[in-house]
A and B are shown apart, each in its own frame.
Chain A
Amino acid sequence: MSAQPLSAERAVESDPNSPASLHDRLERVWRNGPGLWGWLTSVNHKSIALRSIITAFTFFGIAGVEAALMRVQLARPENSFIGPDLYNQLFTTHGSAMMFLFAVPMVQSVALYFVPIMIGTRNVAFPRLNAFGYWTYLIGGVLLFSALFTNTGPDQGWFSYVPLAGPGFSPGKRVDIWAQMITFTEIAAIVAAIEVIVTVFKQRAPGMSLNRVPPFVWAMVVMSFMVLVAMPYVATASAMLAMDRLIATQFFNYAEGGDALLWQHLFWFFGHPEVYIIFIPGLGMVSAIVATFSRRPVFGYTAVVLSLVAIGFLSFGLWVHHMFATPLTQTGQSFFTAASAMIAIPTGVTIFCWIATIWSGRPRFDTPMLYVVGFIALFTIGGLSGLLLASVPVDLQITDTDFLPGHIHYVLLGGMVFPLFGALHYWFPKVTGRMMSERLGKVSFWLLFIGVNVTFFPQLLLGIAGMPRRVYTYLADSGWGGLNLTSSIGAGFIALGMLLLVINIARSLAAGAAAGADPWGGETLEWAISSPAPDYNFAYIPIVHGRSALWADTGDLDAVAGLREDRREVLQTTMLDAVPDSRHEHPDPTIVPLLTALAVGVGLIWGIFDPIGFAVGGVLTFIALAAWGWPEKPKPNTHEVVEVPK
């Protein structure tokens, strides 16, 4: 390590100014610009992640209202509240928005907010790229819902199977809008994944060797690697679909040697890992909450981390279990059944580690912890229903029935939404500086927990009874009315729970109790700094001495001085052992990421109607990227210290 150790006296000498003025200097350098312009040009990871979280929640809300409308329609047989065409648009945009505009962006935004603070750095590795990712995502989301509100909403289902989604059966532009929404969100997802990986690999606080990285951060790293491999597949597939529709390529046209199953393979090679891309961050959030509320580090750190990595790898070997109803060889069926069963091993290991953590700790059942327990219960039902689907003969009976939506909602609400709501209650004080109401939190938890079960368990039963999924109504003598009504009443509970949650957020923002830096007695670095976190995160970069950064040192934290305070400088450390290695100047706020996203937006949206749009967008994007890459005027007092490779 080339950094110089300081004695205690020297440390004081090197910082003759009071902490308050240090705060002012850093704040001046790191804060966003004022007003709307400052908002548009921000490159601060917390500002961008927070607006991304709010955006994702907004899309979640709209998609939730769509779900409520569908439940109203299905509440009784032969209902005429919603017609078939609108119903098709509702379930397609509901599923697409929940997957592509809520779940993935949400977990990535949580990562982009907390990973830098948890690993002790001041910003993500590529601040402008981060802003670009958000704007791209926003354009994609607005595109999808603008289409829905103008009666051009996609109507082919969220996995867009051909030939239904092909030019022959879906004329018009609905499917093209879906395909382009995919492209926007995949660009954003890949960008965010690279941000997380590089930030964790290169900007960890000194001393935070890889084997001391919090499980939450590990989960986000594993998720990001999965995004890098999986997302390009759906982006490629959706581009092929768009080209089949726009310039008459024949990728999926059987008559010309194309193949409908090619779509299914490409889609599910992304789509199955996608489930784990959503679920693994949930595991990370659960790990963080379980440790804090059991008041001890997670039991079996190494086993948990290796299990996360194993789930990541295994999830790429399961995709064909979504295709058991297509002609597969018996060997193929057996292989994918076995692979599907195998993932229970690492998942089981993590669950047992949490149980051991709770068992051997002193658990406190505040709202975040309740959501963890709710997660374990719901995810178990989701997992068990998945076991039925992994069995080929059973799958053939219940595929394309209401069993599927029942199963997927148990898995995703259990595996992602409940941990997320737990995380919301857990980290709300850090983000806002105020506590949420425990009483309202517990009431909304129980409403949601009961609501999810009352809504989705009947759907499992309806599926077994033979009710197809994606039907806008059913006959009175089918005998499905009672269970459907029950399911719709359950949806009412969920809506009420969500309403209370929103009220809780609003009330707490306005009048919640002051949180202080560390309201829960947390283990990781984000609890070392004030709430809400300052723009620069840490006045000095902390030095980590153990896995539980804050519990290993109970008094003052050792830290690093010497980063410049007159510009945005961050410390880079070595990948394995996090030894200080170099200093790196970050860019100031700039409008260029937004302009680049707009250029990409022009290309992709114009390209829905005319291929020339791609060329125009390409040229505009290159111009924007040239502006991006063009060097800024060097600041005064810039002294580059170059270390050339030997």
Chain B
Amino acid sequence: MTVIGEIAAETGRQAERPLRPVVNVSDLPSVVYGSRVVTWWGTTGFMAAEAATLSACVASYYYVLRNYESFPPLRTPLPDLLVPTISLIVLILSLVPCYLFARAAKRLDRPATLRWMWVAAVVMLIATALRLMEFSSLNVRWDANAYASVAWAVVFAHFTLLLADTLETVLFAVIMQTREPTRYYPGVAEDAFYSYFMVAVWIPCYVTVYLVPRWV
């Protein structure tokens, strides 16, 4: 076998390798969208970590569930369904303006982007307020028993995602309203992409916390 490294060792020992430009990339775009952008991948990475966190909470819920003969435990009322269900519907509806501002951002359509971003921000603020009310819909304090602790953990863990997403949408809306940097449009589109994830992961959490205690 030829020992290629030997040759390199002789020729490249002292100086750095000369680089000979043969391709010019100055015509490449500086603003692109979706998986062509690093921030899309970064967001996806955080989604993976956040999904893992939620899965740890949900797994703990089912683990603790096995410890009880009756579930929820004795003298612990079932969680209410009304507010959480309204909250879920509002969350799902918030995806409509999200979709619309993402579509507008992909066309650099500033008026439509701004319009739908503000609508989305308002709907998400409502969803956040509803989520705060949801904690009392659990009908049990976090310290009552392990069931209460895991139920609070699932709802709270997702609450942090919802809050972060809402604040991000508001911040982006303010930036686009006041500054409108062209290079932020892909980020705006990704904000919607994150919202799809945030709402999608809530659905198994909702089923776990509000429906499973009724089924077991």
Name the residue of chain A whose CB is nearest to the CB of B172. Answer: A629
* 7 A-B pairs with least C-beta separation: A521-B9, A562-B26, A561-B21, A295-B5, A194-B45, A257-B146, A258-B146
B27 to chain A, nearest CB (A): 6
Given A580-B25, A581-B32, check contact A236 B63 (CB 8 Å): no
Are A631 and B30 neighbours in the complex by a CB distance under 8 Å?
A: no
Complex contact B38–A125 (CB within 8 A): yes
CB pair A262–B23 under 8 Å, yes or no, is no
Considering only CB atoms and an 8 Å cut-off, how many residues of chain B contact the other chain?
A: 81
- Contact status B24-A236, CB under 8 Å: no
Besides A202-B38, A520-B9, 12 other A-B contacts (C-beta < 8 A) = A3-B23, A8-B22, A201-B41, A229-B52, A266-B59, A295-B5, A296-B3, A517-B16, A519-B13, A562-B26, A574-B36, A584-B30
Residue ID in chain A nearest B2 by CB atoms: A296
Is the pair B16, A528 in contact by a Cβ cutoff of 8 Å?
A: yes
Q: Mark B19-59, 1 if CB is under 8 A from A, else 0.
A: 11111111111111111111001100110111011001101
Report the interface size for chain A: residues with CB under 8 A from the other chain.
110
- Tell me if B197 is interfacial: C-beta within 8 Å of chain A: no
How far, in angstroms, from A94 to B66 measured CA to CA in the complex? Answer: 36
> At the interface, yes or no: A563 with Cβ under 8 Å from chain B?
yes
In contact, B45 and A247 (Cβ under 8 angstroms): no
Q: Is A198 an interface residue (CB 8 A)?
A: yes
Are A557 and B17 in contact, with the CB atoms below 8 A? yes
Whether A251 pairs with B30 at a CB distance below 8 angstroms is no
**B9–A561 contact, CB under 8 A?**
no
B73 contacts the other chain (Cβ, under 8 Å)?
yes
Q: Is the beta-carbon distance between B32 and A247 smaller than 8 angstroms?
A: no
A6 lies within 8 A of B23 (CB): yes
B96 at the interface (CB under 8 A from A): no
Query: B211 within 8 Å of A by Cβ?
Result: no
Given the known inter-chain contacts A3-B28, A197-B41, please indicate yes or no for A554 contacting B13, CB distance below 8 A.
no
Chain B residues, CB < 8 A from A574 = 36
Interface stretch of the complex, out of A146-154, A320-328, A638-646: A638-646
- CB neighbours of B18 from chain A (8 A): 555-557
**Other-chain contact of B22, A6, A251, A571, A645 (Cβ < 8 Å):** A6
B21–A11 CB distance below 8 A: yes
Q: Is B142 an interface residue (CB 8 A)?
A: yes
Q: Considering the complex, which residues of chain A in the window 230-268 have a beta carbon less than 8 Å from any beta carbon of chain B?
A: 230-233, 235-237, 240, 243-244, 247-251, 253, 256-259, 262, 265-266
Stretch at the interface among B118-126, B129-137, B176-184, B201-209: B176-184
Which residues of B sit under 8 angstroms from A250, Cβ to Cβ?
143-146, 148-149
- Residue-wise, chain A 622-638 has the 8 Å CB interface mask toward B (1 for contact) of 10001001110010000
Contacts known (A5-B22, A556-B19); A249 close to B4, Cβ less than 8 A: no
* Complex: A292 Cα to B183 Cα, angstroms: 42
Of listed A235, A250, A550, A630, residue having the most chain B CB within 10 A: A250
Residues from chain A with Cβ under 8 Å of B29 in the complex: 582-583, 641-643
B12 touches A125 (CB 8 A): no
- B46–chain A nearest beta-carbon distance, Å: 7
Query: Given known contacts A229-B52, A251-B150, A557-B17, is B36 in contact with A581 (CB within 8 Å)?
Result: yes
Given contacts A256-B146, A362-B3, contact A581 B16 (CB under 8 A): no
Contacts of B19 in A (CB 8 A): 528, 538-540, 542, 556-559
A640 engages B145 (CB within 8 Å): no
Query: A575: nearest residue on chain B (CB-CB)?
Result: B35
Across-interface contacts of A563 in B (CB, < 8 A): 25-26
A229 touches B48 (CB 8 A): yes
